[in-house]
Amino acid sequence: MDRDHAAALFANDAFYNAFATGDLAAMEDVWAKAHPVSCIHPNDGIILDRAAIMDSWRQILENGGLDIHCAEAEARVRDGFAVVTCFELLGDGCLAATNLFVKEGSSWKMAHHQAGPSATRPAPKDRQGPAVQ
Binding residues for its own copies, rule: CB under 8 A, are: 35-36, 38, 40, 42-46, 48, 72, 74, 76, 78-81, 83, 85-87, 96-98, 100, 102, 111-112, 114-120
Q: How many CB atoms lie within 10 A of CB 93?
A: 12
**72, exposed or middle or buried, with CB in 10 Å at 0-12, 13-18, 19+?**
middle
Which lies closer to its own copies via its Cβ, residue 69 or residue 112?
A: 112
How does DSSP classify residue 97? E
Q: Which of 36, 14, 42 is nearest to 81 (CA)?
A: 36
Which lies closer to its own copies via its Cβ, residue 25 or residue 46?
A: 46
Which lies closer to its own copies via its Cβ, residue 26 or residue 40?
A: 40
Smallest separation (angstroms) from its own copies to the CB of 82: 10
